[in-house]
């Protein structure tokens, strides 16, 4: 089991110890469940009540919160960031297997680095290149001509279709599908004609893709996911979308085809973005918003109406209907006046 002194943790995160610098820490925990050998953190003032009664051996806090902390403190300017770095030290790492499991199938025309691991029931097609330190959990599929960069991990039951390029140190969670056909159909008199999806998907370094998220291949050019992008579970990214570096997108968002999203954007859960739009850098879009026009300037954007009591909602809808009738009545005299002129 890993353990660190409080002074060692302070050095790792660039913080300052207030209290017993030699205290040994062997894990992280919440303020309400932590014990003497754990370190907790406070990044939201709403949890200050829990801080007062915590049994944690130490707590990561901002300097201004030190007076409220009844135990040893690790003082930093960004407690949540420091917590993330410290938690990673105690995170259980996957077993360091290497080689090819007997229950996997790997084409003789695929190139697998000797330090990579291909788990049971995986399928790796011809022309695939899997770099050093890659880890394919059970049931993964990698289609022909695809590339997995150094240290990339597919947790399990991940499907990478043909012609997909994935960078280094990426993490792809179970059920994700990368490189499936985009939703491209041409209308015929009776039915729909499938448009071939001939592009690929290019994913940068240090990208995380959540469970059951789908990223479609491009129609002609590639769908592109930039370095450091973080995608939550159950997101739909359509063909030819481009997502800029270090953008984060929460669960159940849907991005229509050929939309370009800038760098460092934050898109909350359930957001829908129409196709062929341009979203600037440093844009935040709040939960359940519908974006139908391009956004040219950074900032926070919202739409939609939060849930409320049904009776209040019904009254508001009734007023909206009356407002439409009122607008029609007000517009008629103006129309008549223009006709007289």
DSSP-based helix, strand, coil % in the chain, nearest 5: 20, 30, 50
221-248 burial, b at 16+ Cβ within 10 Å, e below that, comes to ebbbbbbbbbbbbbbbbbbbbbbbbbbb
The tokens for 168 are 């280094």
- The C-alpha atoms of residue 76 and residue 82 are separated, in whole angstroms, by 7
Quick check: 167 and 207 in contact, CB under 8 A? yes
Question: Distances in Å between the alpha carbon of 24 and those of 85, 88, 204, 211, 273?
Answer: 17, 17, 38, 36, 49
- The C-alpha atoms of residue 178 and residue 156 are separated, in whole angstroms, by 13
Burial class (CB in 10 A: 0-12, 13-18, 19+), 298: middle
Q: Annotated catalytic, 239?
A: yes
Residue 82: how many other CB atoms lie within 10 Å? 24
**Which residues lie closer than 8 Å to 191 by C-beta, 6 or more apart?**
none
Q: Which of 239, 246, 276, 337 is catalytic?
A: 239
Burial class (CB in 10 A: 0-12, 13-18, 19+), 341: exposed
Question: Distances in Å between the alpha carbon of 144 and those of 141, 195, 227, 286, 331?
Answer: 10, 21, 23, 39, 62
How far does the chain reach from its first CA to its final CA, in angstroms? 87
Q: Which amino acids are annotated catalytic?
A: 239
């Amino acid at each position: 089991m890993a353990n660190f002194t409080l002074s060692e943790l302070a050095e790792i995160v660039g913080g300052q110890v207030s209290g017993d610098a030699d205290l040994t820490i062997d894990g992280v925990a919440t303020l309400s469940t932590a014990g003497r050998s754990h370190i907790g953190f406070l990044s939201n003032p709403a949890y200050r009540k829990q801080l007062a009664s915590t049994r944690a051996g130490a707590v990561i806090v901002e300097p201004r919160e030190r007076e409220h902390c009844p135990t040893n403190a690790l003082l930093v300017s960004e407690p949540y960031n420091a917590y993330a770095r410290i938690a990673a030290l105690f995170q259980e790492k996957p077993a360091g297997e290497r080689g090819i499991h007997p229950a996997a199938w790997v084409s003789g025309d695929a190139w697998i680095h000797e330090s990579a691991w291909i788990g049971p029931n995986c399928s790796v097609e011809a022309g695939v290149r899997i770099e050093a330190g890659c880890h394919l959990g059970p049931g993964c599929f990698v289609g022909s001509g695809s590339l997995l960069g150094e240290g990339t991990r597919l947790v399990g039951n991940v499907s990478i279709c043909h012609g997909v390029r994935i960078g280094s140190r990426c993490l792809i969670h179970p059920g994700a599908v990368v490189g499936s056909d985009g939703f491209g159909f041409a209308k015929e008199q009776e039915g729909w004609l499938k448009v071939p999806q001939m592009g690929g998907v290019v994913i940068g370094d240090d990208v995380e893709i959540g469970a059951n998220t789908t990223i479609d291949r491009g129609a002609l050019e590639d769908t592109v996911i930039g370095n450091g992008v973080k995608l939550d579970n159950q997101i739909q990214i359509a063909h030819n979308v481009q997502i800029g570096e270090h953008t984060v997108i929460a669960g159940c968002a849907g991005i229509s085809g050929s939309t370009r999203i800038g760098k460092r954007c934050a898109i909350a859960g359930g957001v829908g973005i129409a196709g062929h739009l341009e979203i600037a850098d440093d844009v935040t879009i709040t939960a359940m918003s519908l974006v139908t026009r391009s956004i040219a300037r950074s900032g926070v954007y919202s739409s939609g109406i939060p849930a409320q009591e049904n009776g209040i909602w019904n009254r508001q809808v009734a007023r909206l209907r009356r407002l439409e009738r009122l607008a029609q009545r007000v517009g008629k005299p103006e129309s008549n006046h223009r006709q007289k002129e």
